[in-house]
Amino acid sequence: MRISTEPRNHKFNHPNSIEDLKDIQTKLKNTIESESRAFLNKYAIIVTPECPKDYFETIMEKAYNKEPPFKNKTSDGFKDAIIWYSIIDYLKNEKIGTEDSIFFFTANKKDFDSESNLLEFKKIIKKDLHIIDYKGKPSQIFDSEHKTFLQYTLKEAQSVRITEIEVKYSEFEGEWIIEKIFAKPFPSNLVSLLSRINPESKNCKKNLKERIIKLLENFVFNVDSTKINFSFIQLPTIEKITIFLNYHHSNHFYDIDHIEVVYDDDTGEVEPKNENILISEDFFKHDETDEYSFYWMEPTIHQDVVRIVEKIIDRKLHPDSISYEVLD
């Protein structure tokens, strides 16, 4: 049997078919636009205007001088600049009250967060901009560095009646580390708003309860301490964290290859995705004798690494729980 592989040319001759297809196309377009508008309205998403040509000269100057968002970027700097000026242009036409705060959520905070950008924003909009590093984990935006955002969201808290308070903590060498405080149904971690938590005191739980209630009352939540269910939940203990580093001989720096986390009930590995962590060899030392080999980081840099690892694994850490190893 012979099978032809030559393409066949079909002609579409039905007189009404073209008009029917055009009608389907129009209806489909209208449906997509209608559903899209409904989605944007439902979630209060506002589309910023296109970046006007007025900013082109400024964008080119930033690109030439390697200023953010072009600093250390091989691509996407121009697109980030268009995003930046589209936001500014949108806000120029908005009525911003004296009590309003402006927050910019981005998965690439380092691309926008610079002194020159923030000064430029304040000069044009007459308000400070708070840039929040957000990579899809809701807990990230309630870190202590975003305290301003959390305080702003609590301004209308009196409408929320608190029914349960959940405190999650971990232990390291007998010391409590308070990691999460949730006053349900409010969905935010409040731990960053409690300064100087001292879990070693005699009446730790009692004192912590009183401080949380006082905090909620200060934020005018609807609080009745006699009707709130308190629960203290111990998270798996982190026994040890080892950060495995690569050494780059040509440029004399280290970067993180992966992180090994040893819990009291399990062990896991984490890759620091989307984290550009470079450590100069000047901050990293190696002591070696016949009995032991030990790597240590300059204390200030070590604290920075601790904060980065806390974000990666979404846990609070004791600085002494982290050690370093260099891969061959």
269's tokens:
């590995």
Cα torsion 219, 224, 227, 233: sign: positive
| Mean pLDDT to the nearest integer, 277-293 | 75
For residues 240 and 55, the model is more confident at: 240
- Amino acid identity of residue 201, one-letter, is S
* Distance (Å) of CA 77 to CA 19, 172, 284: 45, 43, 32
pLDDT above 60: residue 93: yes
Predicted confidence at residue 4, as pLDDT, reads 44
pLDDT above 70: percentage of residues in the chain: 75
Q: Which of 68-77, 152-161, 163-172, 201-210 has the highest mean pLDDT?
A: 163-172
Q: String of b and e for 65-103 (b: at least 16 CB within 10 Å)?
A: eebbbbeebeeebeebbbbbbbbbbebeeeeeeeeebbe
Domain boundaries defined on the chain = 24-134, 153-234, 238-326
pLDDT above 90: residue 165: yes
The angle formed by the CA atoms of residues 230, 233 and 234, to the nearest 5 degrees, is 150
For residues 144 and 213, the model is more confident at: 213
Report the mean per-residue pLDDT for the chain: 77
- Summarised one tens digit per residue, pLDDT across range 25-53 is 888 888 888 888 787 777 667 666 666 66
Predicted confidence at residue 235, as pLDDT, reads 86
pLDDT above 80: residue 200: no
pLDDT above 90: residue 136: no
pLDDT above 90: percentage of residues in the chain: 2
- Summarised one tens digit per residue, pLDDT across range 13-26 is 566 677 777 778 88
Q: Specify the residue for token string 């990293």.
A: 284
Q: Residue 7: is the preceding peptide bond cis (ω within 30°)?
A: no
* Distance (Å) of CA 273 to CA 72, 109, 171, 243, 258: 18, 15, 27, 14, 9
Task: State CA 229 to chain mean position distance.
Answer: 30
Predicted confidence at residue 205, as pLDDT, reads 81
Predicted confidence at residue 198, as pLDDT, reads 59
pTM for this model (two decimals) = 0.49
